[in-house]
Chain A
Amino acid sequence: MADLVLALIQTAALLALAPLLTGIIRKLKAWMQSRRGPPIYQPYLDLAKLMRKGSVVSEDSSWVTTITPYVCLISMVVAALLVPAFVTESLGFLGDLIVLVYLFAMTRFFTALAALDAGSTFGGMGSSREMLVSSLIEPAILLSFFTVALLTGTTSLVSVTSVIATSGASLIGPALLLAFAAFLIAVLAENARVPVDNPSTHLELTMIHEAMLLEYSGKDLALMEYSSMVKLTLFVTIAWSAFLPWGVATEITAPALALGVIVFLAKLLTLAVVIAVIESSMAKLRLFRLPNLLTGAFMLAFLAVMSYFVL
Chain B
Amino acid sequence: MKALSILILGFSLSLLFMQTSFSSEVLRSIPVQNGGRIKPLDTLARESVRLIHGKEKYMKKDSSKTVLTWLLVPETWNQTELIRIDNLELKKALQLDESKKFYSLKTLSINPSIQSLLQNLNTKRKKKVKLGAFDQALQKLESQMMTMRSFQTGDIFSIGPQADTDAWASVNRVDPKTQSHFTNLLTALSRHIGSKESKESLKDLDAAALVLKNHIYEQAKKYGKPVNESKIKAEIFFNKYHMFRYAWICYLLALLLVFGFSQTKKEAFRKGFLGLMGFGFLLHLLGFLLRVYISGRAPVSNMYETVLWVPFGTLIFGALVGKWGKNLFAFVGSCVVAVFCLILSDLAPNILDPSIQPLEAVLRSNYWLLTHVLTITISYSAFFLAFILGDFSLYYHLNENKYRKQILDLNLSIYRSLQIGVLLLAVGTVLGGIWADESWGRFWGWDPKETWAFIALMGYLAILHGRLVGMLKTFGMAASSVVAFSLVIMAWYGVNFWLGAGLHSYGFGSGGVEYVSVFVLVHILYVIFVGLYRKLN
> A and B bound?
no
